[in-house]
Amino acid sequence: MPATTIYFEPTKRQHRAQVLNDALPGIILLFTGLGILLNEGFISKIMPYVDVLVGVVVIRTAITELRQHKNRNIINWFDISAGCVILIEAADMYKSHKGFQPAHILYLIGVLTIVRGILAERLPKMKQVVLSEEKMYARTSLFRVVSCSWKDLSQIEIKKSAIVFTERDQKKQFGLRRIGNRDEVVSRIIEHAKVFGIPVEDIVENKN
């Protein structure tokens, strides 16, 4: 039996939160640029206008994603562009004779935005479940991994909020509430469990 990989999809609530998070660099740029223009009027510096333009584009892109309920799975050049502009704005605001200042926060946001743009394809695929001939392996977060050997499993219990695996009298589980494609994940695990003769309980509860 070939290994099967199912990537966890976000729930609708998680998707909306992610879109708002994606729009944050654009909001920062838009208000930074508008703040400079309102305080100093129409000036010869080009950066405030770049801030406003890139900010509007990033926010517009985030709104489009929200409406289409679609995640980007390639390098996010809008994030990278926004991060670069934020870094330039931070460098322009930075005062070497001062201690901690807003420019430091902008530097951090700029770097994180660029990194997020580069990893736009990899981050969504980090959360997954892999079903092979030997075991079930699930990564539900950066630091949370659940792994069980099929031959050592005595029971699988499907609950509304979690899947519970009994391996050598030890309980292991991972939650289902934050998985958008919950039904697909559950059905694939049940299929593999049946192949190995592992009893699965509470299937009726899972369907309700």
Instruction: Map out the domains of the chain as residue ranges.
Output: 11-123, 127-207
| CA 61 from centre of chain | 17
Q: Contact at 8 Å (CB) between 110 and 84?
A: yes
User: Which pLDDT belongs to residue 128?
Assistant: 92
pLDDT tens digits, 20-45: 888 888 898 899 889 888 888 777 67
Architecture of domain 127-207: Roll (2.30)
- Does the global pTM surpass 0.75? no
Confidence label for 73 from pLDDT (cuts 50, 70 and 90): low
Tell me the average pLDDT of the chain. 85
